[in-house]
Structure 1
Amino acid sequence: MNAASVTASLREIDDLPSPRGLPLAGNLFQLPPSTHHLTLERWAKELGTPYRFKLGRVPIVVWSDFELSQAVLRERPHRYRRYGPLETLFDEVGCNGLFSIEGEAWAPQRRLVMQALSVPHIKAFYPTLAAITERLRRRWESAAREGRIVEMNDDLKRYTVDVTSALAFGEDPNTLEKERGVIQEHLSQLLPMIMTRLSTPFPYWRYMRLPRDRRFDRAMAEVHRYVRGLMSRSRERMRDEASALEPRNLLEAMLALRDAPESGLTDDEVAANVMTMLVAGEDTTVASLAWGLLFLGGDEALQTRIAMHAKCTFGDARVCPNYQAMRELDLCEAVCTEASRLHPVAPYLSLEPLEEVELQGVRLPAGTKLFFLNRPAMLDESHFSDPARYDPDRWLREHRLQAGEHANQGTHDPRAYLQFGAGPRVCPGRHLAAVEMRLVISMLTANFTARLAQDAADIHEVCNFTVVPNRMPMRLALRPA
Structure 2
Amino acid sequence: MILLLISLLLLAGVIFVEFNRKNNKTTKQPPKRNPWPKVPNVFIGIKLGSKANIADILEGWAKQYGQQGVFETRLLFQRFYVICSEKAISQLEQKRPYVITRRKNLVSAFNSIGANGLFSAEGDTWKKDRRIVAPSLNHKNVEKYVTKIQLVAGRLVEKWSKVIDKDPDIQIAINDDIILSAVDVISLVAFAKDLNTVTHGGGELSSVLAKLFEIMMIRTVMPIKYYKIPIIGQHLDGGKKLKKYVVDLMQNVVDDFKNNVSEDKSATFLGRMIEFNNKTGDDSMSMERFVGNLLTMFGAGSETTASTLTMCLYEIANDTTGLQNELYKEMSQMVSIVNADLDAYFTCLPRLRSLVYEVLRLKGPTPIFGVENVEPVEINGVTIPTGSYFMFLHKYITEVESFDETTGKGTRRGLLNTPIHEFCARRCLKQDEDGQISFVKPTYGTGFRTFGSGLRICPGKELAEVEILVFLTFILREFEISLSPNHPKITMVTQLAQRASEDICLIMKKRKTKDS
Quickly name the TM-score band, shorter chain normalised.
0.7 to 0.9
Q: CA deviation at 1:439?
A: 1.0
Q: CA deviation at 1:57?
A: 4.2
Q: CA deviation at 1:14?
A: 5.6
Give me the whole-angstrom Cα distance separating, in 2, the residues matched to 1:368 and 1:444: 46
Give me the whole-angstrom Cα distance separating, in 2, the residues matched to 1:57 and 1:445: 47
Number of equivalent positions:
457
1:332 counterpart SS class: helix
Cα contact 1:308–1:446 (8 A) shared by 2: no
Residues 264 and 191 from structure 1, CA distance in 2 versus in 1: closer, same or farther, beyond 3 angstroms?
same
2:400 counterpart SS class: coil
1:16 counterpart SS class: coil
Question: Which residue of structure 1 aligns with residue 241 of structure 2?
Answer: 218
Could you tell me which amino acid in structure 1 is paired with residue 425 of structure 2?
P
Could you tell me which amino acid in structure 2 is paired with residue 162 of structure 1?
D
Give me the whole-angstrom Cα distance separating, in 1, the residues matched to 2:127 and 2:113: 22
- Identity over aligned residues, as a percent? 22
Residues 421 and 68 from structure 1, CA distance in 2 versus in 1: closer, same or farther, beyond 3 angstroms?
farther
Moved more, 47-56 or 352-361: 47-56
Could you tell me which amino acid in structure 2 is paired with residue 229 of structure 1?
N
Q: Normalising by the residue count of structure 2, what TM-score does the alignment of the two structures yield? A: 0.80
Residues 70 and 145 from structure 1, CA distance in 2 versus in 1: closer, same or farther, beyond 3 angstroms?
farther
Question: Which residue of structure 2 aligns with residue 42 of structure 1?
Answer: 60
Give me the whole-angstrom Cα distance separating, in 2, the residues matched to 1:258 and 1:90: 26
Aligned mate of 1:375, from 378, 383, 395? 395
Q: CA deviation at 1:60?
A: 0.8
Equivalences for residues 43-442 of structure 1 within 5 A: 43-48=61-66, 49-147=69-167, 148-207=170-229, 208=232, 213-214=237-238, 216-238=239-261, 241=262, 247-255=266-274, 257=277, 262-263=282-283, 265-299=285-319, 301-315=322-336, 319=338, 321-327=340-346, 328-380=348-400, 382=402, 383-385=411-413, 386-398=419-431, 415-442=446-473
2:82 counterpart SS class: strand
Residues 210 and 109 from structure 1, CA distance in 2 versus in 1: closer, same or farther, beyond 3 angstroms?
closer
Question: Which residue of structure 1 aligns with residue 8 of structure 2?
Answer: none
1:358 counterpart SS class: strand
Deviations 1:81-115 (A, max 9, x none): 11121111111111111000112111121122211
Give me the whole-angstrom Cα distance separating, in 2, the residues matched to 1:118 and 1:255: 15
Q: CA deviation at 1:250?
A: 3.0
Q: Normalising by the residue count of structure 1, what TM-score does the alignment of the two structures yield? A: 0.85
Residues 254 and 359 from structure 1, CA distance in 2 versus in 1: closer, same or farther, beyond 3 angstroms?
same
Cα contact 1:393–1:399 (8 A) shared by 2: no
Give me the whole-angstrom Cα distance separating, in 2, the residues matched to 1:112 and 1:131: 27
Structure 2 unmatched runs, 5+: 1-29, 403-410, 414-418
Deviations 1:132-156 (A, max 9, x none): 2211221221232233433322222
Cα contact 2:307–2:364 (8 A) shared by 1: no
Moved more, 329-338 or 427-436: 329-338
Could you tell me which amino acid in structure 1 is paired with residue 424 of structure 2?
D
Q: CA deviation at 1:418?
A: 1.2
Residues 258 and 322 from structure 1, CA distance in 2 versus in 1: closer, same or farther, beyond 3 angstroms?
closer
User: Quick check: 1:28 aligned with 2:44?
Assistant: yes
Give me the whole-angstrom Cα distance separating, in 1, the residues matched to 2:212 and 2:496: 10
Q: CA deviation at 1:404?
A: 12
Give me the whole-angstrom Cα distance separating, in 1, the residues matched to 2:445 and 2:428: 8
2:508 counterpart SS class: strand
Q: CA deviation at 1:401?
A: 9.9
Moved more, 381-390 or 87-96: 381-390
Cα contact 1:150–1:473 (8 A) shared by 2: yes
